[in-house]
Amino acid sequence: MKAELPAVTLPGGRQVPALGLGTWHMGEGEASRAEEAASLRAGLDLGMTVIDTAEMYADGGAEEVVGDAIGGRRDEVFLVSKVLPYNASRAGTVAACEASLRRLGTDHIDLYLLHWRGRHPLAETVEAFEGLKAAGKIGAWGVSNFDEPDMRELLGVAEPARPAANQILYNLARRGIEYDLLRWSQVQGIPLMAYSPLDEGRLIGHPALEEIGRIHKATSAQVALAFLLTRANVIAIPKSGSPDRVRENFKASEIRLTSEDLRLLDEAFPPPTRKQPLEMI
């Protein structure tokens, strides 16, 4: 039997699994595209139905890989894409979304994010997002790489509308948000999407993760992901272009980290003791 993935409830009530699929660096080479699409489909087969992409990745190439992967099974997927900040004017956001929809081969994106803050006023981007939502081209909108002060400002600008998520860098080696943004977001009911949950692969083979992995018969990647799955309101989106590694990552959901495991992780990756500016990759 397939293990159940923990779920996160989005504002509006929709539930999505807390473990999804990243796509950065997909679509960069012709040779690997079929394998990349197969990896995403392997994830969907296991119920990892959140797929995260962006117009930026491979200049639209990653969105095309996603389009290939979800052909015929769009309804299973919670599709996330992002507009680049320099496109995020009122008209530019709409045009960027329509181009993404074409590459993705679908008529709607479930969650559309501003990739990071740029020069266009937030009010303009939010207005465009709300227009796209009213037109049924996106289901919800959100942001990425927003620290707590940015989020407060956004809430003021967007009122009464609200962002459905904030996608940020969060993994064992980058725990800064545990000082403030994580808790604030939980209180606000705004889910966080943890990007680079394996620190772009740098956490693989870390001795502390290997040690805990030995107890659970798990790999270092699985322990790193299991840590994020202990956090309420957080959706981790590891990327792998290999179906086997996607299946490996899925099995992180079968690990129950003990309080002793968490203590060892705190020792190896100390949580923040003061405010740290939000890190970004």
User: What is the separation, in whole angstroms, between the first and last Cα of the chain?
Assistant: 37
* CB-based contact 222:248 (threshold 8 Å): yes
Nearest Cα to Cα of residue 44 among 63, 71, 24: 71
Q: Give yes or no for residue 29 binding ligand NAP (CB under 6 A).
A: no
Comparing every residue's Cβ against ligand NAP, the nearest one is 22
Task: Report the catalytic residues.
Answer: 57
Asked if residue 160 has a cis previous peptide bond (ω within 30° of 0), the answer is yes
Distance in Å, CB of 226 to ligand NAP, minimum: 12
Site for ligand NAP in 190-229 (CB under 6 A): 195-201, 204, 221
Q: Give yes or no for residue 238 binding ligand NAP (CB under 6 A).
A: yes
249-259: b (≥16 Cβ within 10 Å) or e: bbbbbebebee
Residue nearer to ligand NAP on the CB measure, 106 or 249: 249
Determine which residue in the list 93, 100, 185, 249 makes contact with ligand NAP, applying CB under 6 A.
249
Integer CA distances (angstroms), 16 to 4, 191, 254, 277, in order: 12, 11, 17, 28
Nearest Cα to Cα of residue 192 among 180, 209, 204: 180
> Could you tell me which stretch among 180-188, 208-216, 236-244, 254-262 binds ligand NAP (CB under 6 A)?
236-244
Count Cβ atoms below 10 Å from residue 268 Cβ, excluding itself.
15
Amino acid identity, position 207? P
Residue nearer to ligand NAP on the CB measure, 173 or 268: 173
Residue nearer to ligand NAP on the CB measure, 161 or 204: 204
Per-residue interface string for the shown chain with ligand NAP, residues 115-134, x marking contact by CB under 6 A: x-------------------
> Could you tell me which stretch among 4-12, 129-137, 177-185, 239-247 binds ligand NAP (CB under 6 A)?
239-247
> Could you tell me which stretch among 42-50, 68-76, 209-217, 244-252 binds ligand NAP (CB under 6 A)?
244-252
Distance in Å, CB of 213 to ligand NAP, minimum: 11
Distance in Å, CB of 260 to ligand NAP, minimum: 24
Determine which residue in the list 166, 167, 185, 253 makes contact with ligand NAP, applying CB under 6 A.
167
Residue nearer to ligand NAP on the CB measure, 94 or 252: 252
Q: Give yes or no for residue 87 binding ligand NAP (CB under 6 A).
A: no
Q: Give yes or no for residue 239 binding ligand NAP (CB under 6 A).
A: yes
160 vs 206: CA distance, rounded Å: 45
Nearest Cα to Cα of residue 46 among 8, 2, 12, 10: 2
Determine which residue in the list 5, 23, 50, 139 makes contact with ligand NAP, applying CB under 6 A.
23
Nearest Cα to Cα of residue 236 among 39, 19, 17, 9: 19
Cβ-in-10-Å burial (0-12, 13-18, 19+) of 211 comes to middle
Residues of this chain that interact with ligand NAP (CB under 6 A) are 22-24, 52, 115, 144-145, 167, 195-201, 204, 221, 237-242, 245, 248-249, 281
